[in-house]
Amino acid sequence: MPKRRYERREPTHEWSQIRPQLKDAAQIKYELIRPVILFGVSAKERAAETGEPRSTIYYQANLFDVSGMASFLPPEPLPAISKLDKRILPPPMRQAIVDLHAEYPEHHVDEIARILYIQFGRRPSAQTIKLTLADGPKPSRTTRRFPLFEDVTDPRERRLAIIRLHAEGWTPTSIAGYLGTSRQTIYATLKRWVEEQFAGLVDKSSRPNQPATKVTLQAMQEVKKMQINPELGEYRVSAALEQMGIKLSPRTCGRILALNRELYHIKMPVHSGRPKKEMPFRANRRHQFWSVDIRYIDMHHIEDEDKIYCISILENYSRAILASAISRRQDAAAYLSVLYAAIRKHGCPNTIVSDHGGVFLSHEARQIYNAFSIRKEEIELRQAWQNYIETAFNTQRRMADWYFEEAKTWDDLLATHEKWVRNYNYQKHFAHEQREDGRRSPAEVLGWVTGKQFEPDYMYRAFSAIGETRTLTKAGYARFRDFLLYGERGLAGKKVLINIFQDTLALEYGEHPLAKYSVEWQPDDTHLRRIGNPRLYDHPYQNPQLELWPSSEVEWFVIIHAHSYGSRSRRKRVTRILAIQPPLLADGTQPS
């Protein structure tokens, strides 16, 4: 019996007992993945059992699926390559390395590698470049390709040499050392080349850098037209020009204004400066504070007009005028009409700020504040600067007072006021010059943001409780003072709201306007002289039976002058005294 070659052992599948018996690497790989291939054991379980990484088991199993048993064998060694067969740099590259070093010995090997990559598309290693410089060919050039910077008289050729060297891959430091100039010159030339291309090769003019002037004859003429108002300063003129499409800085406008004052002998108004103080009602968000005040327009020259007032409401955060009106009176009705217009369009604020005027603290105004949950604040006594609306009124003095003074009729005054509100809201404002979002005008800052909104019917009921209401007759007329005004026949018996403000009288029902009329006041500003110019509106309450009024005589049918209410006559009181004759005594005398 032949001798056993291997020692007999008990068969087992325990890896801890099998692993010490394995000597060959291929045998180890085989035993490692055998349960995975034959019995479907997961790689995770096999990794926990053997202590080998799970990725190694995955890799060996996948390699076995592709190559089979050959995956257990080591790869075949590559055939030996003789020294003569090793790759060497092409002769042109070797020659270029030697020429670059000969032309400028300060070249770094990395810079030479970059230049070769740009020229040949191949980047040799630093060791290869050093070996080539040690045993390479002789330089093919013994002279410089480009003379020194100061030796070239043509500035175009000097800068063109810098561009060519940089295009070959030379660094600015090497170019400066090779041409004998400063790195600042190299960087400036390259920057001009990027910005101007071939136009940057010629010398710049020695004249001071003076860009094309923006001040045209048209701009100067517009400034001259606006300077008829001596209150306009450089900032307001700049804002007005920008609105017209002419962009000039405030300083430029100031120089033009000064030049015009010198040429045309225009006197500049003198104002006393005041120290700047901290504003107590500065807003951090839109519609946090509204400021309201009434300004007396005393510079007008309109005949038959005594006192005229401007009632305005301003939003503190954006400085936008929310509502404003010119009025002959400064009573609660006029103020509430402006407040109604502001709330109707922009919602309600958190707080309304005013002075201690009785108009703003009246019982009717407090009813509105309570109805819309508006907090009321007042500035300190004799501290008008705390009210933001005063800043807007100062702007109004500069922008509109001159035109108020030139107005000849009431319509001219209204048109001037409307133009001021529009220009003020849409021209840039000095308070927004430092904003980072690019919004400069009050209208841009205010945007679409509104305050707390209420239902239109609720607002209508709140303000109608203060206004006057009338019941329509069977024919659809409402009696107001000594006039019968047509509202709507289909609303006979319904109560309508009569709003009268300035020269306009409006009939409304349920937030829908029914008609508007023009009003002429008597000199006492209390009694009406005439009502005319009717305008009837379309609304959902129209009577299906149309009125056949002649188009040329509508006013005769919708406005009827009624008889004045006569004074109530007092009936003479009739005293009815019954005289009773007392009985006489026997002697003919009355009892005492």
Nearest to 350 by CA among 370, 368, 367, 375: 375
Q: What is the pLDDT of residues 548-563, one digit of tens each?
A: 566 555 665 677 877 6
Contact between 521 and 527 under an 8 Å Cβ cutoff? The reply is yes
Q: What is the pLDDT of residues 458-517, one digit of tens each?
A: 886 677 666 678 899 988 899 888 888 888 888 889 988 887 765 778 888 877 888 888
* Position 123 pLDDT exceeds 90: no
Q: What is the mean pLDDT of residues 157-182?
A: 82
Contact between 131 and 116 under an 8 Å Cβ cutoff? The reply is no
Would you state the torsion angle of the CA atoms of residues 64, 69, 72, 74, taken in this order, to the nearest 10 degrees?
Answer: -120
Contact between 235 and 440 under an 8 Å Cβ cutoff? The reply is no
Task: Transcribe 69-102 into DSSP letters.
Answer: GGGGSPPPPPPP--GGGS----HHHHHHHHHHHH
Lowest-confidence pick of 25-29, 257-261, 426-430, 574-578: 574-578
Would you state the torsion angle of the CA atoms of residues 67, 71, 73, 77, taken in this order, to the nearest 10 degrees?
Answer: 70
Q: What is the mean pLDDT of residues 234-253?
A: 90
Q: Given the structure tokens 């005040």, which residue do they identify?
A: 293
Would you state the torsion angle of the CA atoms of residues 335, 340, 345, 348, taken in this order, to the nearest 10 degrees?
Answer: 90
* Position 84 pLDDT exceeds 50: no
Token pair recorded at residue 201: 């090769």
Q: What is the pLDDT of residues 6-25, one digit of tens each?
A: 677 777 777 777 777 777 88
Lowest-confidence pick of 88-97, 152-161, 456-465: 456-465
Displacement of CA 454 from its chain's centroid (Å): 26
Nearest to 386 by CA among 299, 279, 270, 313: 279
pTM of the model: 0.47
Nearest to 282 by CA among 428, 383, 431: 431
Pairing of the two strands 351-354 and 375-378: parallel
How buried is residue 221: exposed, middle or buried, by Cβ count under 10 Å (0-12/13-18/19+)?
exposed
Whole-angstrom distance, CA of residue 297 vs CA of residue 407: 12
Whole-angstrom distance, CA of residue 543 vs CA of residue 280: 55
